[in-house]
Amino acid sequence: MSEDNFMVALGDAFRGLSFVRLKRAVRLGVRSLWLHRLRSLLTMLGIVFGVCSVIAMLAIGEGASYEAQESIKTLGSQNIILRSVKPPEEQKPSDKGNQSFVLQYGITYADVKRIRATIPGVTVVLPGRNIREYVWNISRRMDCELFGTVPWYPEMRNHRVAAGRFFTDNDMDEQRSVCVLGAEIAPALFPIDSPLGRHVRVGGNYYQVIGIMEPRTVVAAKDAGAEANKSSLPRLYIPLETAKLRYGEVLMRRRQGSFEAERVQLHEVTIKVETLENVLSVAEAIKEVLERNHKKKDYMIDIPLEMLRQAERTKQIFNIVLGSIAAISLLVGGIGIMNIMLASVTERTREIGIRRALGARRRDIIVQFLVETVILSGAGGALGVLLGVIIPFVVSYAAGMKTIITFWSPVLAFGISALVGIVFGIYPAIRAAQMDPVEALRHE
Amino acid sequence: MPAPIVHFENVRKTYQMGPVTVQALRGVTFEIHAGDYISIMGPSGCGKSTLLNLLGCLDRPTSGHYRLGGEDVSQMNDDALSAVRGARLGFVFQSYNLIQQLTVVENIEIPLYYQDRPEAQSRAMACRMAARVGLEQRLDHKPFELSGGQQQRVAIARALVNEPLVILADEPTGNLDSASGTEVMKLFDELHNQGKTLILVTHDPGVGQRAHRTLRLRDGEIESDVRR
Ligand SMILES: Nc1ncnc2c1ncn2[C@@H]1O[C@H](COP(=O)(O)OP(=O)(O)O)[C@@H](O)[C@H]1O
Ligand SMILES: [Mg+2]
Q: What is the pLDDT of residues B159-190, one digit of tens each?
A: 999 999 999 999 999 899 999 999 999 999 99
Please indicate whether, in this complex, the C-beta atoms of A357 and B110 are within 8 angstroms of each other. Answer: no
| Calpha distance A22→A9 (Å, rounded) | 17
Please indicate whether, in this complex, the C-beta atoms of A359 and B99 are within 8 angstroms of each other. Answer: no
**pLDDT averaged over chain B?**
93
Q: What is the pLDDT of residues A260-283, one digit of tens each?
A: 677 778 888 888 888 878 888 888
DSSP state, residue B43: S
Cα dihedral across residues A229, A236, A290, A271: positive or negative: positive
Q: What is the pLDDT of residues B53-65, one digit of tens each?
A: 999 999 999 999 9
- Percentage above 70 pLDDT, chain A: 86
pLDDT at B22 over 90: yes
| Calpha distance A279→A277 (Å, rounded) | 6
How far is B32 from chain A, CA to nearest CA, in Å? Answer: 21
DSSP state, residue B220: T
Closest among A83, A401, A127, A79 to A225, alpha carbons compared: A83
Please indicate whether, in this complex, the C-beta atoms of B97 and A353 are within 8 angstroms of each other. Answer: yes
Go through the domains of chain B in sequence order and give each one's CATH number.
6-227 (3.40.50.300)
What phi, psi does B41 have (nearest 5°)? -130, 170
How far is B165 from chain A, CA to nearest CA, in Å? Answer: 14
Q: What is the pLDDT of residue A95?
A: 47
B47 Cβ inside 6 Å of ligand 1: yes
| Calpha distance B164→A191 (Å, rounded) | 93
Query: Touching check for B115 and chain A: CB below 8 Å?
Result: yes
Q: Average pLDDT in the A342-361 region?
A: 95
Yes or no: say if A185 and A236 are a contact pair by the CB < 8 Å rule: yes
B62 Cβ inside 6 Å of ligand 1: no
Strand order in the sheet with B63-68: B20-32, B6-17, B63-68, B71-72
Query: Residue length, chain B?
Result: 228
pLDDT at B194 over 90: yes
Query: Touching check for A355 and chain B: CB below 8 Å?
Result: yes
Q: What is the pLDDT of residues A50-78, one digit of tens each?
A: 888 888 888 888 888 888 887 777 777 78
A81 to each of A85, A201, A277, how far by Cα in Å?
13, 30, 17
HEC string of chain A?
A: CCHHHHHHHHHHHHCCCCHHHHHHHHHHHHHHHHHCHHHHHHHHHHHHHHHHHHHHHHHHHHHHHHHHHHHHHHHCCCEEEEEECCCCHHHCHHHCCCCCCEEECCECHHHHHHHHHHCCCEEEEEEEEEEEEEEEECCEEEEEEEEEECCCHHHHCCCCEEEECCCCHHHHHCCCCEEEECCCHHHHHCCCCCCCCCEEEECCEEEEEEEEECCCCHHHHHHCCCHHHHHCCCEEEEEHHHHHHHHCCEEEEEECCEEEEEECCECEEEEEECCHHHHHHHHHHHHHHHHHHCCCCCEEEECHHHHHHHHHHHHHHHHHHHHHHHHHHHHHHHHHHHHHHHHHHHHCHHHHHHHHHCCCCHHHHHHHHHHHHHHHHHHHHHHHHHHHHHHHHHHHHHHCCCCCCCCHHHHHHHHHHHHHHHHHHHHHHHHHHCCCHHHHHHCC
Lowest mean pLDDT across A87-101, A134-148, A168-182, A314-328:
A87-101
Q: What is the pLDDT of residues B138-158, one digit of tens each?
A: 999 999 999 999 999 999 999
How far is B1 from chain A, CA to nearest CA, in Å? Answer: 31
Cα dihedral across residues A138, A144, A150, A153: positive or negative: negative
> B30 — alpha (psi -120 to 50), left (phi > 0) or beta?
beta
| Calpha distance A5→A233 (Å, rounded) | 74
Higher pLDDT, B100 or A17: B100
Measuring from atom 8 of ligand 1, which residue has the nearest CA?
A: B50
Q: Residue B179, Cα to own-chain centre: how many angstroms?
A: 22
User: Which of A1, A22, A348, A358 is best to mutate for the B interface (most B CBs within 10 A)?
Assistant: A358
b/e per residue A230-251 (b: at least 16 CB within 10 A): bbebbbbbbbbbbbeebbeeeb
Closest among B177, B170, B167 to B37, alpha carbons compared: B167
User: DSSP string of B141-176?
Assistant: --GGGS-HHHHHHHHHHHHHTT--SEEEEESTTTTS
Q: What is the pLDDT of residues A385-436, one digit of tens each?
A: 999 999 998 988 888 888 888 888 889 888 888 888 889 999 999 999 999 9
B113 Cβ inside 6 Å of ligand 1: no
Q: What value, to the nearest 5°, has the Cα angle with vertex A274 and ends A273 and A276?
A: 75
Higher pLDDT, A121 or B216: B216
Residues 6+ apart with CB under 8 A from A52: A383, A384, A385, A386, A387, A388, A391
Residues 6+ apart with CB under 8 A from A74: A157, A158, A159, A216, A220
Distance B47 CA to ligand 1 centre (A): 6
| Calpha distance A407→A405 (Å, rounded) | 6
Q: What is the pLDDT of residues A92-145, one digit of tens each?
A: 555 444 444 667 788 887 888 888 888 887 877 778 888 888 888 888 888 888
Rounded to two decimals, the ipTM of the complex is: 0.96
| Calpha distance B152→B132 (Å, rounded) | 13
Closest among B145, B110, B109 to B127, alpha carbons compared: B109
Long-range contacts of B21-28 (CB under 8 A, 24+ apart): B23/B220, B24/B50, B24/B220, B25/B50, B25/B51, B25/B54, B25/B61, B25/B220, B25/B221, B26/B219, B26/B220, B26/B221, B27/B64, B27/B221, B28/B64, B28/B220, B28/B221, B28/B222
Q: What is the pLDDT of residues A146-156, one digit of tens each?
A: 888 888 888 87
Q: Exposed, middle or buried: residue A338 (CB in 10 Å: 0-12, 13-18, 19+)?
A: buried
Q: Average pLDDT in the B107-135 region?
A: 92
**pLDDT averaged over chain A?**
82
What confidence tier does A258 reach under pLDDT thresholds 50, 70, 90?
low
